[in-house]
Amino acid sequence: MSHESNSPQYRMGLPIPHSKLGMWLFLATEIMFFSAFIGAYIVLRAGSPGWPDDPEITHLRIWAGGLNTFVLILSSYFVVMALEGMKVENFAKARRYLCLTLLLACLFLGIKAYEYSGKFKYDILPGHIPETPRMAIDKSMREMKHVVDQRTIALAAAKLPEKTEPVDPEETAEISGVADEKTEEVETPVEELRQQLQTELTAEDTPAPRKKELQAYFDLDSKYRELDKRALDETISMQEMNKELETMKENPEYGSFLAPVHFLQPIIYGN
C-alpha cells in the first residue's frame, strides 16, 4: 500500500533580488516616516489659530522651496538617465548626466542657503524666537547688554578674568546656594572696567579722539540703562522699543555697534 504525502507543495514566488526587495522596504519606511511628519504638521497647523504665514514676519521664501522641489525631481531624473547609460555601456552619457546631477546638487544647496538666510539674519532660530512682546523686549535687552559689555572690554583693552572652579566642597555649596553673589561675581569686572573708563574720560590728559570715543560709549551705556530700567518696570511697549532701537542704530557715533541687536518681532508658536 502506498501512502501519498499530504504536505503542501511550495512554489517560488516572484524572483525578486534582495537588492530590489531592500529598496522597496526602504521606500515603504520613508513613506511612513514622512507621512507621520506631514500628518503631525497638518494637525498642528489646523489646531493653531493665528499661525504666522506672512513672509515679512517668518522671513521664509516659499517660492525658493518650490523651485528646490523641481531641482530635486530633475536631479532624480538625471540619475535615472545616467543609470540607463551605464546599462548600455554608454559611459559618456552616464558621465554627462552624473555631472548634471552634481551641478543640480550644488544649485539645491545654494537655493536652500538663500531660502533660509532670513532665518539667520533675523535670529529666527530654535530657542531664540520670542513668542510674546515681553519675551521680545527681554531678548533685545540681553543682546544690547552683550554689546555694551563687549564695548566696555574692547575700550579697556582687557579681558574678563577667567573664573576658577572652587576646590573646597564647602565653598562649592556656598556659591551654588547664593545666586546673587554668583551674579555679582560675573558682573563686577565689567563694572570695574566701566569705572576705569569713566576716570579716563574725566582725566585732563586724555587725548581728544579718545575722549570722543569714550563719550560715545557712555552715551550708549546711558541709553541702555534707561531702556533696561523701563523694560524692568514694564513701562515701555514693543513699538516704543523698536522706535528707540531704530534711533540708536542711526546714531553716527555708536550705531554701528548695535548690528547684533535685532528689531523686536515676536512670532507665535516660535515658527
Domain boundaries, the chain: 40-121, 133-162+187-270
Assess whether pLDDT exceeds 90 at residue 40: yes
Q: Is 160's pLDDT higher than 80?
A: no
Q: Using pLDDT thresholds of 50, 70 and 90, give the confidence band for residue 159.
A: very low
pLDDT tens-digit series, residues 194-216: 999 999 999 888 899 999 999 99
The 10s digit of each residue's pLDDT in 90-113 is 999 999 999 999 999 999 999 999
Written as one string, the DSSP assignment of the chain is ------SPPP-------HHHHHHHHHHHHHHHHHHHHHHHHHHHHHT-TT----HHHH---HHHHHHHHHHHHHHHHHHHHHHHHHHTT-HHHHHHHHHHHHHHHHHHHHHHHHHTHHHHHTT--TT----SHHHHHHHHHHHHHHHHHHHHHHHHT--PPPPPPP-SHHHHHHHHH-HHHHHHHHHHHHHHHHHHHHHHHH-TTS-HHHHHHHHHHHHHHHHHHHHHHHHHHT---HHHHHHHHHHHHT-TTTGGGGTTSPPP---GGG-
Amino acid 127: pLDDT: 85
pLDDT level of residue 172 (50, 70, 90 thresholds): very low
Percent of the chain with pLDDT over 70: 83
pLDDT number for residue 187: 52
| Whether pLDDT at 75 is above 60 | yes
Pick 30 or 188 by higher pLDDT: 30
Average pLDDT of the segment spanning 64-86: 94
- Which pTM does this prediction carry? 0.67
